[in-house]
Amino acid sequence: MSITVHARAPRGEAPPRLGRRIRLDRRRFLASGLTAVGAYVVAFRGVTWIVGPGKAWAAGVDTFEPELADTLLKMTRALYPHDFLGDVHYAQVVQDLDGEVSGFDDKERLQMLRGGMAELDEAAGGTFVTADAGGKQAALGKIAGSPFFEAVRSKTVVSLYNQPEVWKKFGYEGPSYDEGGYLHRGFDDLSWLPDPPAEASPPVQAG
């Protein structure tokens, strides 16, 4: 299988009629991205950081202690596991979860997340982060539906799949207006089925 990557024209340039295309095979595509393993969590001068493999990136969280950040990093991936997504995208979700509890006097939600982590560790029979893939799924299955589980799951399903860099990995091209829509960029380029007749699907009108 091959994946087609559509390179965007920089803002301000006239949009090309056809997006420039770079073809990569799947293996190269995956190797070029951030792979599933490798991010780690550290505390440095009182701030918790999620650090990418080779220190390629680091995502700071304001409120979560390292253990909670690490648990949520592993939990969000286990909830929506995509091998072709690097940890950087799950770290974004952890940052968003952290954003919900930072800067408020009300610590109820933070306490709920901390309590949930303990619940998840118990369900994993030790620590969730060190459980293998099957163990993680089993632990999540045990706590599914709890307020903690739903708080993390419902945030993750929005925050993970709302990242433009994630869209590209699914092939989704996102906003089209600035590039003139898809009228000249492949809205009808499917060629593995015959074209419908003109009475069913008229040609694009001139002008």
Q: Does 21 bind another protein (CB under 8 A)?
A: no
CB of 31 to another protein, least distance (A): 18
Task: CB nearer to another protein: give 54 or 201.
Answer: 201
> What is the C-alpha separation between 170 and 166, in angstroms, rounded?
7
Q: Residue 88, class by beta-carbon neighbours within 10 Å (0-12 exposed, 13-18 middle, 19+ buried)?
A: buried
DSSP sequence for 3-17:
EEEEEPPPTTSPPPS
Burial of 3 (C-beta count, 10 Å sphere; 0-12/13-18/19+): middle
Q: Which residues pair with 2 in a beta bridge?
A: 25
Q: Are 148 and 122 in contact (CB under 8 A)?
A: no
Residue 192 touching another protein (CB under 8 A): yes
Q: Which two tokens stand for residue 191?
A: 């060629």
For residues 51 and 75, which CB has a smaller minimum distance to another protein in the complex?
Answer: 75
Site string for another protein, 38-57 (x = CB under 8 A): --------------------
Q: Residue 10 interacts with another protein (CB under 8 A)?
A: no
Q: Which stretch binds another protein (CB under 8 A): 16-24, 64-72, 91-99, 136-144?
A: 136-144
| 182 binds another protein, rule: CB under 8 A | yes
The residue (of 127 and 137) whose beta carbon lies closer to another protein is: 137
Is residue 187 close enough to count as binding another protein by CB under 8 A? yes
Question: Which tokens in the block code for residue 166?
Answer: 């994630």
Please list the residues that pair with 91 across neighbouring strands.
none
Is 132 among the residues that bind another protein (CB under 8 A)? no
CA distance 17 to 95: 37
Residues that bind another protein (CB under 8 A): 3-4, 78-82, 137, 140, 144, 153, 157-158, 160-162, 166-167, 170-178, 180-183, 185-190, 192-196, 199-205, 207
